[in-house]
Structure 1
Amino acid sequence: MEQKRVVLAFSGGLDTSVCIPLLREHYGFDEIVTVAVDVGQPEEEVIRATEKGRMLADNHYTIDAKEKYIAECIFPSIKANGSYEGYPMGTALARPLIAEEIVKIAEKEGAFTVAHGCTGKGNDQLRFDFIFRSAGYKIVAPMREMNLTREWEICYAQEHNIPVSVGKENPYSVDENCWSRSIEGGRLEDPAFHPPEEIYAWTVSPQAAPDAVEKIRIEFEQGVPVALNGERLPGIAFIRELNRIAGRNGVGRNDMIEDRILGLKAREIYEHPAATVLLAAHRDLERLVLTRSELAFKHIVDDKWSELAYMGLVHEPLFYALNAFVDTTQERVNGAVDIALYKGGLTVLGRSSDAGLYSGDLVSFDSTTIDQNHAVGFSNYFGLQARLLKNSKKC
C-alpha cells in the first residue's frame, strides 16, 4: 500500500499554507508534516510559521539554521564575490540548505514524498527539486502541477479559513532571510511601475537618509568579515548590525530586470544593505592582496560560482572545485577596509593589510629604490609584434 505521508517545506506564506489542504483534498495524503527552516528571517515570521504549521498540519518542525546558513552559504558567497546579474544573491543561497533540512526530516519521519509550494515559472522549483531528486524523493508541487494563480490561492485560503497576510489589496510576495529581502508580485510585475516606498523594510530612501556621512570599518580574516568598527561579532549579529547601519543610510536597494533560469525575464526588487557593503569591501581588499593573475582568473571563477549558486547546483562537482580554488585565494585576504555611507551610496576610503602587495617605496615618484633606466629594456620589447606588423604594412 502506498504511503500517504508527505513532508512539506513550509514558510507560512500564502503558497505553502494553501498547500496543506490541497495535499489532503487533491492528492489524498493522510499525514502532512511541515518543516519551517529559520535562515534569519524576522522572528515573528518564524513564530507565525511555527504556530500555523502546528495548527494546520499533523506534525511540525522548526529548524534553527541561521548560523549554518551564514557559515556554509553566506561566507562562501562573500569569498566568491557572489552576485548574479549585479545583485547579491540571498534566496538562491538559502534554498538548497532549506531543502537539505527537509530531506533530514523526511528521513526521520520515514516519508517517501516531499512537497514544496513553488510555481512552475520561478527558480525555486529547480533549486528544491535538485536537492530532493538527488536524495531520491518523490516530489509533489501543487502550485506547479495544478497551474494555480495567486488570485485563486487567496480565494482558496479565505474559503478554508487559512490566515494569510497577503490579500488582493496587498498582493506582494516577500522572501526574507538575514542576507537579503526580495519583493515581487502585484503591480511590481509591470517593469514600468514605480514601486511605492511602503514595500521597503530594511532601507530608507536615499532622499530620507541622513545628510551626514557615516564611516565604518570592516575587518576580514581569510576573506570572512570578523569585526565591525573594531568590535568582533558572530556572523548573525554582524550581518544584522550592518544591515541596520547601511539600511539607515539608504544603501542596498536593487530594482532590476532579471533573467530567470527558465529564460523568463522578471522584474525583481531587493534589499541587501549588509551584503552590498561587505561585497564591495571584500572586492576592494582582494585588489590589494591578490596578484593580477589571481584577480583575473578569480573573476572568471566568481562568475561561474555565482551562476551555479543561483541555479542551486551546489552538488555540481565543478562547484566543489571552484570553492577549493576560492578558499586557497582567501588565505591572504586579511585586513581592514574603511567605508563611507551617504544617501544610498558607498565609497571605499582606504584599505590596509599585512599581506598587501602594495609598496609605497617602489611605486613612489620620489623613490630611487628601482632604477627607472631598467624600464628601457622592457620598453624596447613592449608591443613588439604590433609594431612589426604596423611597419610591414608601410612597405
Structure 2
Amino acid sequence: MAKSKKVVLAYSGGLDTSVILPWLKETYGYEVVCYAAELGQGDELKNIKQKAMKTGAADCVVDDLRKTFVEDYVWPMLKSGAVYEKGYLLGTSIARPLIAKRQVEVAHQYGAGAVAHGATGKGNDQVRFELTFMSLDPSLDIVAPWKDPNFTLTSREAAVDYAKKRDIPIDQTKRKIYSRDRNLWHISHEGADLEDPWNEPQNSLFVMSRPISKTPAKPDYVEIGFENGIPVKLDGKALSGVTMIERLNEIGGTHGVGQVDLVENRLVGMKSRGVYETPGGTILMNAHEALETLTMERETYHYKKQVALKYADIVYNGQWFCPIREALDAFFESTQKVVNGTVRVKLFKGHAIPVGIKSPNSLYSDELASFEMGAEYNSTDATGFIRLFGLPMKVNGVVNRKAAKSSKKKTAKKSSAKKK
C-alpha cells in the first residue's frame, strides 16, 4: 500500500520553514500540514496560520503547549540541575522532543506518511527531531530538506532570495540574518557576526534582557518558594509554572541576568558559537541549587552533580525518549523530596546571587558549624578519623621515601665508582 503524500512540517514561520513549505510542494508534490507549538515565543506566532495557508499549506495546527512544556519538560530538567558545558541551560534542546512528539500525533491524526523539519545538516536539532520521530513512530518517513541533494538553497541568503521571489513574508534580511529560537525558557542567537568568536555581541542583539551597561544601578530581590524541587511561589504568592517563568524573565531581563556567550561542542562534531538569554531560568537554577546545598545529604548531593552532567548530554543530544532518561528522572525525583523551602536571590548587573536560604528540611546545624566546641562534636574524634582517612596516603608516602632513599644510595655508589 502506497504511503500518504501528506507530510507534517514543524513550522515556526521563520526563514527556513517559510521556504521549505512551498519547496516540499513544488519538488515532491506533498500536501503539507504545518504544525506550530506555542512555547512562549511572544508575538512570533501571531497570524501564523494565515501565513502558512497563504504560503500553500493544506492546514496548520497551532497548539498552546506552555503548561506541558514547563511541567513535563522544564521542571524535570530543573530538578536534575543539568547544564551543558557549564553555560547552556538547554532552552532549545528541551523543547524539541515535545514539538516532535506532537508532530507525530498530528501525523497520525491527518493520516500523514511523513514528518519534516527545517533543521540543517550541521546542527543538533536534526538529531533531536529525528530521534524523537524514530522513537515514537519508526514507520514515518523523515523529510529533511537541508540534507536533500535537490534542495539548492544552501545558505540563508539564498533562502531570503527564494522567499522574496515568491512573496513569502519573512522578518530576516541579508543584513539582519541571525538564527534565533525562542521559548519561555530562553532565546538563542547564532549566525551572522557571531560566527567569528572574536566579535563581541552587540547591544542590539539582546531580546529578553537588557545589555549590562543599561541595567539599573540598584539591585532587586526575589524570593522563590520550592516544594519537592519545584518552584511554586514568587515573593510569597503561589503562581503557575508558566507565570512564574514569565515574571522572572521580566525582572531578570531588566537586570541582564542569564546572558551567556558560549563556544560549544555540537553533537555532530564541530564547535559553534551561540549567545543565550535565560533570565528566569538562571534565577531558578541558581535558587534551586542553593536550596539543595542546605537540604541534601553530602553523598547524594555529590553523586547528583555527577549524574547531572550525563542528563545534560541526554537532553542536548535529543535522547529524551530514551530509557536512561526515565531512569534518571526517578533518581532525581527521589532526591527532591527534601528540596523544600525559600531562597532569596539578589539580581544585579547580570548576576542572580542567592543571598538567603531557609528550609524545614535544613541539614545545617548552628552548633556543629560554630567554631566553638560543643557536646555534639568531640574534637578528639577527629584525630582518629584523620589517621584512618589518611592511612593510604601515609603508606604511599613511606613507600616513596624508601624508594627515593634507595635510588639516592645507588646514584651515590655509581658516582663514587666513577671517581675511582
Which TM-score tier does this pair reach, normalised by the shorter chain?
over 0.9
Cα deviation code 1:292-335 (max 9, x no counterpart):
11011111111101100111101221111111101100111111
Supply the distance in 2 between the matched residues of 1:282 and 1:2 (Cα, whole angstroms): 48
Supply the distance in 2 between the matched residues of 1:60 and 1:393 (Cα, whole angstroms): 73
1:3, distance to aligned residue in structure 2 (A): 2.5
1:362, distance to aligned residue in structure 2 (A): 2.2
The verdict on how the C-alpha distance between 1:379 and 1:194 changes in structure 2, with shifts beyond 3 A counting, is closer
Asked if the contact 2:3–2:113 (Cα under 8 Å) also holds between the matched residues in 1, the reply is no
Supply the distance in 1 between the matched residues of 2:187 and 2:400 (Cα, whole angstroms): 59
What corresponds to 1:353 in structure 2?
359
What corresponds to 2:305 in structure 1?
299
Cα deviation code 1:357-386 (max 9, x no counterpart):
111122222352223233333234330222
Supply the distance in 1 between the matched residues of 2:172 and 2:301 (Cα, whole angstroms): 45
Cα deviation code 1:225-283 (max 9, x no counterpart):
11111111101110010011111011110111111110111110110001111111111
What corresponds to 1:143 in structure 2?
146
Partner AA of 2:392 in structure 1: Q
Supply the distance in 2 between the matched residues of 1:194 and 1:388 (Cα, whole angstroms): 53
Partner SS, residue 32 of structure 2: strand
- Counting aligned pairs with the same residue, the percent is 39
Q: How does 1:313-352 map to 2 (within 5 A)?
A: 313-352=319-358
Q: How does 1:21-36 map to 2 (within 5 A)?
A: 21-29=22-30, 31-36=31-36
Q: How many aligned residue pairs are there?
A: 393
What corresponds to 1:193 in structure 2?
199
The verdict on how the C-alpha distance between 1:114 and 1:379 changes in structure 2, with shifts beyond 3 A counting, is closer
What corresponds to 2:221 in structure 1?
215
Q: How does 1:237-252 map to 2 (within 5 A)?
A: 237-252=243-258
Supply the distance in 1 between the matched residues of 2:107 and 2:355 (Cα, whole angstroms): 50
Partner AA of 2:71 in structure 1: A
- Are positions 1:385 and 2:384 aligned together? no
Supply the distance in 2 between the matched residues of 1:47 and 1:205 (Cα, whole angstroms): 27
Partner AA of 1:53 in structure 2: A
Cα deviation code 1:167-225 (max 9, x no counterpart):
11211121100001001121221111222211111111222111112111111111111
Asked if the contact 1:223–1:282 (Cα under 8 Å) also holds between the matched residues in 2, the reply is yes
What corresponds to 1:125 in structure 2?
126
What corresponds to 1:46 in structure 2?
45
1:53, distance to aligned residue in structure 2 (A): 1.8
Partner SS, residue 364 of structure 2: coil
Partner AA of 1:107 in structure 2: H
Supply the distance in 1 between the matched residues of 2:122 and 2:207 (Cα, whole angstroms): 26
The verdict on how the C-alpha distance between 1:375 and 1:34 changes in structure 2, with shifts beyond 3 A counting, is same
Partner AA of 2:72 in structure 1: E
Unaligned runs of 5+ in 1: none
Partner SS, residue 182 of structure 1: strand
Partner SS, residue 218 of structure 1: strand
What corresponds to 1:372 in structure 2?
379
What corresponds to 1:112 in structure 2?
113
Which one has a bigger Cα radius of gyration?
2
Supply the distance in 2 between the matched residues of 1:183 and 1:64 (Cα, whole angstroms): 23
Unaligned runs of 5+ in 2: 403-420
Supply the distance in 1 between the matched residues of 2:251 and 2:362 (Cα, whole angstroms): 28
Partner SS, residue 269 of structure 2: coil
Partner SS, residue 28 of structure 2: coil
Supply the distance in 2 between the matched residues of 1:303 and 1:380 (Cα, whole angstroms): 34
TM-score, normalization: structure 1?
0.96
What corresponds to 1:100 in structure 2?
101
What corresponds to 1:81 in structure 2?
81
Q: How does 1:127-276 map to 2 (within 5 A)?
A: 127-134=128-135, 135-136=137-138, 137-145=140-148, 146=151, 148-276=154-282
Asked if the contact 1:15–1:143 (Cα under 8 Å) also holds between the matched residues in 2, the reply is no
Supply the distance in 1 between the matched residues of 2:186 and 2:401 (Cα, whole angstroms): 59
Give the one of 279, 283, 289 matched to 1:283.
289
Supply the distance in 2 between the matched residues of 1:361 and 1:187 (Cα, whole angstroms): 56
Partner SS, residue 26 of structure 1: helix
1:352, distance to aligned residue in structure 2 (A): 1.1
